[in-house]
Amino acid sequence: MTEKIMEGSIAVAHAVARCSPDVVAAFPITPSTHIPQELSRIQPEYGFEFVPVEAEFSAISAVFGASAAGGRAFTATSSQGLLLMHEVLFAASGTRLPMVMVVANRAISAPLSIWNDWQDSISQRDAGWIQLYCKNSQETVDATIQAFKITEEARIPVMVCFDGFYLTHEISPIDVPEKKEIDAYAPKGKRDSLDVGDPKSFGCYATPAYYQDMKKEQDDALFASAGIIEKHAGKFAEKFGRPQFAFIEEYKNDKDAAIISMGSLAEEAELVADEGLAGVVRVKCFRPFPRDALKKALQGKKRVVILEKDVSFGLGGALATEVKSLLFEAGLAPEVTSIICGLGGKDVSVKNIKEALQEKGSAWM
């Protein structure tokens, strides 16, 4: 393990290049831009096909095509770019094609904002992708490498999310494993693809006699991917000597109260936990939603405070909604507070998080 001081985006780009992709297609959008820029710079060294397309819609479409042709394919985006990809996300998961996308989380227009929140990827939660939310750049690097293994085994696309600017532009010590180590961890396998020697049709349409069964199978596969996610996190930890959190991370979760959050916000909440005010339960894997792990982590809690940077307009926070549903299902009845915060880059300080612990019901801060 060799840590180097580097920017989060640059580290992710190098991790991707060392995963030996066949095709990388991307369109620039802040704050994800440094990832494709760096990939284009190091392309001659690694030799993958780099396609600087004319829109994000084309980026994900080219990734779809590359995957159908049997290639390992990658893209990165943020915000409006992810929304522009929306239609293709469903086509990709429905066609059961492996692919990896890193999302540098950013707010959605209007009003226009380039700053961080999770509204972009949270609003894609029903697109049938695996969604991983990382707390720092090291975890993003690790998750991206695992994502190629996960997607190829589960045949479900994987979205690795990390916070725009807070992580994409943060400079910190990061270990990006060497290519030969990644080759050994994530070798490319054979799979069915477009091949003139063995003609197959991908992307057929379905009549009502088949459609729902195919969707059920897709849903079953997304649930079942939990086992694959866990397996590859374990193998990664073993090979690279860094502990991995497949679904959730519990931090000092031995208090009556727990803060539930994701991404770098959860890491910040650890500072509050250090003061003994509450434990922290960080949701890393948002899809498939880690019901079993969360049920266990929330047993006996008297109070749960959910902090999140997204909103399902007219309802509340998306994470809080999922947690409430899970608590009901598990027969647990702690007092629940739902906090929507940090939208469009609004600062969330340790002081704010402490205040959140005093809130009742739901609040924006």
Partner 1 sequence: MTELFLKGHRACAGCGSVLALRYVLEALGKDVIVVNATGCMEIISSQYPESNWGVPYVHCLFENTASVATGVSRALKHLDKEGTVVVIGGDGASYDIGFGAVSGAMERNEDILYVCYDNEAYANTGLQRSGATPFGSATTTTPSEMGGKGEWKKNLTFIAAAHAVPYAAAASVAFLPDLQAKLKKAKQKKGFRLVNVHAPCTVGWKINPVKAVEVARKAVECGLWNLFEIDDGKFKLSRPVGEAPVAEYLKMQGRFKHLTPKQVETIEEHARSVKPELEKLEKANVNFQRFL
Partner 2 sequence: MQNYVKPKCTNKTGSWRSQKPVVNKEKCIGCGTCERSCPDMAVKVVDGKAVVDYDYCKGCGICANECPVKCIQMKPEKE
| Interface contacts to partner 2, rule CB under 8 A | 95-97, 155, 192, 199-202, 204, 214, 217
Query: 42 by DSSP, 3-state: which?
Result: helix
CA dist 162 and 140 (Å) reads 7
Q: How far is the CB of 177 from partner 1 (least distance, A)?
A: 22
| Residue 207 in the binding site for partner 1 (CB under 8 A) | yes
Which residue's structure tokens are 């801060």? 365
The span from the CA of 68 to the CA of 47, in Å, is 20
- For the bound state, the minimum distance from the C-beta of residue 195 to partner 1, rounded and expressed in Å, comes to 6
CA–CA separation, 63 and 163 (whole Å): 23
Nearer to partner 2 by Cβ, of 192 and 274: the residue is 192
- For partner 1, which stretch binds (CB under 8 A), given 5-13, 110-118, 190-198, 260-268? 190-198
128: left (phi over 0), alpha (psi -120 to 50) or beta: left
Answer with the entry of partner 2, partner 1, none that 330 interacts with (C-beta below 5 to 8 A by kind).
Answer: none
Q: Give yes or no for residue 49 binding partner 1 (CB under 8 A).
A: yes
Structure tokens at 164: 């725009």
Residue 111, preceding peptide bond in cis (omega within 30° of 0): yes
Please give the structure tokens belonging to residue 78: 């943020």
How near is the Cβ of 221 to partner 1 at its closest, in Å? 17
Stretch touching partner 1 by CB under 8 A, among 30-38, 62-70, 152-160, 283-291: 62-70
Min dist CB 98 to partner 2, Å, is: 10
Q: How far is the CB of 213 from partner 1 (least distance, A)?
A: 10
Q: Which of 68, 132, 57 lies closest to 99, judged by CA?
A: 68
Per partner kind, with CB cut-offs from 5 to 8 A, the member of partner 1, partner 2, none near residue 192 is partner 2
Give the 3-state secondary structure of residue 79. helix
C-alpha gyration radius of the chain: 20
Closest distance of CB 65 from partner 1, Å = 3
68 binds partner 1 (CB under 8 A): yes
> 96 touches which of partner 1, partner 2, none (CB within 5 to 8 A by kind)?
partner 2
Report the alpha-carbon distance of residue 41 to residue 265 in Å, rounded.
31
Distance, CA of 48 to CA of 14 (rounded, Å): 12
Under the rule (CB under 8 A), what is the footprint of partner 1? Answer: 22-23, 25, 47-49, 51-55, 57-59, 61-71, 73, 87-88, 91, 95, 194-196, 198-207, 210, 214
